[in-house]
């Protein structure tokens, strides 16, 4: 390892298993001191024990690193505030926030009830906003005190949030919201020395195991495991380091050995009559524009 994050303190939410665990281990391997947050809930967000966070913190310490387990609920203001406080009280600083916590409650829209909608939006979207808000308040105070931070935020979006996913209306909406939140945060916080980016990972985790059981199996005979969560963590680690100076407001897709810069909504074909359209005229003009536009990407589950 190169010591890319030596001297930095990183917080990773949802770090007890899967992608979050891989990120925490990768950051620690590059020299970061890591606050490992996880409630230890089930795949649907029910139940809960702090044990997974403690196991990962113990694993980091066993490898010679420094880590602290945190079992607070980061979708509450008190829990998110305590996460930032834990980093500051224990290590005296906070440099990197990796927002990763989440769970699934998949349903087709006609079967998706309000509780399932609220629960998924809460953990993904609110669970990104609140740690970001409390970390940003600290970094703003540091900047105003003349101690400009070199701060990094890495949010976790999804292909479902970028393209949509059948049976995941709640999850896709939350992940799309995280993408927009990333763009706003990058624009607002840059003046305080904070860079904010998002990664849409594809990996074999508890959340993807049932959906992609056939395509995400580990390869035999020790071949390259393209779906291992560890493949996503190098990009997350670099985005969480000082080395990514100038990279902010970007969304990346990471899968196996592939990294893609995602290019989102931007103006395409346009026309201007210079006066009000009639409905029939607007329709004809729109059809002409669509004929000149790039085709839409298919929603996951419709290919």
Residue of 126, 165, 171, 300 marked catalytic: 171
Is the Cβ–Cβ distance between 163 and 300 less than 8 Å? yes
Residue of 158, 165, 233, 241 marked catalytic: 158
Question: What are residue 144's phi and psi, to 5 degrees?
Answer: -70, -25
Q: Catalytic: 175?
A: yes
Residue 233 belongs to what H/E stretch? helix 233-239
Contacts of 100 (CB under 8 A, 6+ apart): 12, 13, 14, 15, 19, 20, 23, 156
Q: Catalytic: 171?
A: yes
Maximum distance among all Cα pairs of the chain, rounded to whole angstroms? 70
Nearest to 160 by CA among 219, 211, 195: 211
Residue of 91, 165, 175, 233 marked catalytic: 175
Distance, first Cα to last Cα, the chain: 40
How many of the other CB atoms lie within 10 Å of CB of 259?
Answer: 15
DSSP states along 193-227 = TEEEEEEEEE--SHHHHTTTTTTSPPPGGG---TT
Paired residues of 154 in beta bridges: 98, 197
Q: Catalytic: 77?
A: no
Which amino acids are annotated catalytic?
158, 171, 175
């Amino acid at each position: 390892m190169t010591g890319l994050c030596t001297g930095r303190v990183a917080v990773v939410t949802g770090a007890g298993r899967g992608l979050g665990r891989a990120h925490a281990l990768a950051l620690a391997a590059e020299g970061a001191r890591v606050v490992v947050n996880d409630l230890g809930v089930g795949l649907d967000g029910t139940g809960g024990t702090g044990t997974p966070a403690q196991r990962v913190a113990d694993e980091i310490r066993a490898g010679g690193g420094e880590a602290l387990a945190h079992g607070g609920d980061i979708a509450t203001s008190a829990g998110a505030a305590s996460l930032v406080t834990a980093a500051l009280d224990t290590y005296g600083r906070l440099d990197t926030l990796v927002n990763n916590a989440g769970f699934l409650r998949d349903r087709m829209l006609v079967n998706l009830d309000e509780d399932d909608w609220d629960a998924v939006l809460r953990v993904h979207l609110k669970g990104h906003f609140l740690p970001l808000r409390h970390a940003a308040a600290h970094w703003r105070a540091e900047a105003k005190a003349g101690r400009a931070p070199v701060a990094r935020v890495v949010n976790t979006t999804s292909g479902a949030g970028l393209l949509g996913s059948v049976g995941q209306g709640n999850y896709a909406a939350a992940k799309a919201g995280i993408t927009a939140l990333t763009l706003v945060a990058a624009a607002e916080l840059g003046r305080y020395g904070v860079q904010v980016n998002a990664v849409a990972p594809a990996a074999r985790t508890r959340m993807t195991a049932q959906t992609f059981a056939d395509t995400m199996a580990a390869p035999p005979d020790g071949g390259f495991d393209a779906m291992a969560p560890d493949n996503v963590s190098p990009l997350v680690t670099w985005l969480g380091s000082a080395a990514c100076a100038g990279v902010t407001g970007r969304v990346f897709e990471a899968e196996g050995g592939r990294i893609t810069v995602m290019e989102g909504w931007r103006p395409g074909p346009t026309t201007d009559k210079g006066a009000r359209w009639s409905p029939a005229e607007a329709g004809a003009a729109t059809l002409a524009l669509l004929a000149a536009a790039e085709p839409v990407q298919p929603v996951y589950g419709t290919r």
